[in-house]
Structure 1
Amino acid sequence: MSILAAIPSPTQGVWELGPLPIRAYALCIIAGIIAAVWLTDRRWRARGGAEGDVLDIAVWAVPFGIIGGRLYHVISSPRPYFGEGGDPVRAFAIWEGGLGIWGAIALGGVGAWIACRRRGIPLPAFADAIAPGLLVAQAIGRLGNWFNNELYGGPTDLPWGLTIHDWNGTGAVLGADGQPVVLGTFHPTFLYELLWNLAAAALVIWADRRFRLGHGRAFALYVASYCAGRLWIELLRSDPAETFFGVRLNVFTAVVVGLLAVAYLVWQRGRPREVITRGRDQREAAGTRPGAADAAPAVPVRGADPADEEAPVEAEPQRREEP
């Protein structure tokens, strides 16, 4: 009865379209990236950024992020690849699932920094624009875990318990009666994180509007709020993971990264939001080639340099209401 009352899980995660396998996990990741780019573009242009900046930066950040996410996953869960009976070649099989958000953000940030530097855009300002978009992308990406019947917690008979099937990598294992084999009902930790991420995205958008966050503070709020949720959700998960002193590695990561984000918020408190100039439009008007001499500061802020206290400050461009 509890299984019938539980949240169902898909019995198939891959569909064959001729020789091309269509994987639900990959589709969810792609959908999350598209949503993040769309939302970030709206926020960036509302802050005064140039149209096209976000897409150009995503070209660098997304591949770096995917590589970083996979590296973190393999390093933090090495047994399926390098343990007894493991297959090292599968470490490259990103399409099978397994991306660590910590590595994705870290290495994706490197890609974003390279792109921002080429365009003369300050990374902290861009990070503030992308913060809620990342949370939305993570929420959509968690649907891929649902399709893969993975990332669930301990057994439960709660009404929102999640039905989990015995899984062979692409679909549910069929029993002698031809029906999918059900392992039981478990805490849907993927769903807990999905809902938490959406709530955190709303929090970041609200706080950014209310307090006009700048200089990376919106991004720090994203990190702090995500880590707070990941901490208690990680403690519910029952899938295999590397542990230290009996505690999952991701619990330590959430605590350390979360505290660093809070410290940054405190350190940067009270700073006014940057004025983002349309650097690309100005370069084109001046006849300079894109990417050349992008080291000039693109965010004049009153009082940032005591020596410039009497210098005129560029008026902030009129902004559309940002999401």
Structure 2
Amino acid sequence: MSLAYLPSPSQGVWHLGPVPVRAFALCIITGVFVAVWLTGRRWAARGGNREDIADIAVWAVPFGLLGGRLYHVITDPELYFTAGQQPIRALYIWDGGLGIPGAVALGAVGAWIGCRRRGIQLADFADAAAPGLVLAQAIGRWGNYFNQELFGGPTSLPWKLLIDPAHRPADSPTVAFYHPTFLYESLWDLGVMALLLWLDRRYRPRRGRLFACYVLAYTAGRAWIEALRVDHANHFLGLRLNDCVSAALFAGALLYLHVTRRTASSGPGPDRLTGDMAKGAAGGDTPQSLQAADSPQDREPAVDGPEGESK
């Protein structure tokens, strides 16, 4: 047997006296802080106030956590509300179980409240937040690694993941190695972040269109990664429920890009994702050609990474 494999962590909880410190929670919290920081930088580069982002996050983050948990519980109610189960465990968010579609959906409601309080268009905020949001997802997925959950089927690939006997599927208790789907999704999310930063620099999509690109790219990856997983899931039309949700979101994002293509190309400010190139006198893009906009978010150049460099 090959010795090439990814070991599982020896523990996912540490104790500071009587206080448990859970790796899953640390990953989620780290992802939130990184997302707020990157979104703040991008918002400031568009002429906005970085304090706006902190104020919006106060609403978006708790709404997002609540939405993520509700999505998980609603789509898998038998884990908590059938005979022999403990309904109180539906509140144990630290044990894992956050559905990203629910987190994004209800988080958007919180963001809308925060945006209204600050007089900001939700679509403008969503475009600024999209790269940071998917980066937070990339970091948060490592919480599943520490919980030894949401892995894929058995595999002998060199990057196979060793799962302890206590966490293995009931139908394969003697199989030790599985697909590290947490790693696949984390790497995919990093790729989506890089794609969004490139699209923002190259085409400057606006009015929610960069966020729609995030939905397209993320759900495309989630579909094939979800197909590898062997954890419990309800099915609809023969597919895992999350695959059905991903397909619906992918179609919705594609429709949004199609419907808004004319508005984006005819309105003030550049949105070159539609093919309308803002050209300078020399035939190339110039800073002046990128500043014909109706809001601070449209007038300033996009930020490509934490230090403004391409990633």
Which bin holds the TM-score, normalised by the shorter protein?
A: 0.7 to 0.9
Normalised to the residue count of structure 2, the TM-score between the two structures is: 0.84
Separation (CA, whole Å) in 2 of partners of 1:215 and 1:115? 17
* Cα contact 1:165–1:182 (8 A) shared by 2: no
Separation (CA, whole Å) in 2 of partners of 1:245 and 1:123? 34
* Cα contact 2:151–2:182 (8 A) shared by 1: yes
Gapped regions of structure 1 (runs ≥ 5): 173-180, 276-300, 303-312
* Cα contact 1:70–1:104 (8 A) shared by 2: yes
Equivalent positions of 1:34-53 (< 5 A) are: 34-53=33-52
Separation (CA, whole Å) in 2 of partners of 1:161 and 1:148? 16
For residues 317 and 84 of structure 1, do their structure 2 counterparts lie closer, same or farther at Cα, with a shift above 3 Å needed? closer
Deviation, structure 1 residue 25 = 0.1
Give me the CA root mean square deviation: 2.1
Q: Which has the higher contact order (CA 8 A, sep 6+)?
A: 1
* Cα contact 2:148–2:163 (8 A) shared by 1: yes
For residues 228 and 322 of structure 1, do their structure 2 counterparts lie closer, same or farther at Cα, with a shift above 3 Å needed? same
Deviation, structure 1 residue 36 = 0.3
Matched with 1:185 is: 177
Matched residue type, 2:224: W
Matched with 1:224 is: 216
Q: Deviations over 1:98-145 (max 9, x none)?
A: 100010001000000001011100000000000010110000000000
Q: Is the helix fraction higher in 1 or 2?
A: 2
Question: Of the two, which has the highest radius of gyration?
Answer: 1
Deviation, structure 1 residue 167 = 3.5
Q: Deviations over 1:248-276 (max 9, x none)?
A: 1001000001110011112222516877x
Residue 196 (1) aligns with residue 188 (2): yes
Separation (CA, whole Å) in 2 of partners of 1:314 and 1:235? 42
Residue 115 (1) aligns with residue 114 (2): yes
Separation (CA, whole Å) in 2 of partners of 1:321 and 1:155? 43
Q: Deviations over 1:217-249 (max 9, x none)?
A: 000000010000000111110000111243210
Matched with 1:81 is: 80
Normalised to the residue count of structure 1, the TM-score between the two structures is: 0.81
Q: Deviations over 1:61-96 (max 9, x none)?
A: 000000000000011112220123211000011111
Instruction: Work out the number of aligned pairs and report it.
Output: 276
* Cα contact 1:163–1:183 (8 A) shared by 2: no
Matched with 1:28 is: 27
Which of 259, 262, 275 matches 1:267? 259
Separation (CA, whole Å) in 1 of partners of 2:187 and 2:248? 23
SS state of the match for residue 29, structure 1? Answer: helix
Deviation larger for 152-161 or 262-271: 262-271
Q: Which portions of structure 1, spanning 4 or more consecutive aligned residues, are displaced by more than 4 angstroms?
A: 272-275, 313-318
SS state of the match for residue 52, structure 1? Answer: helix
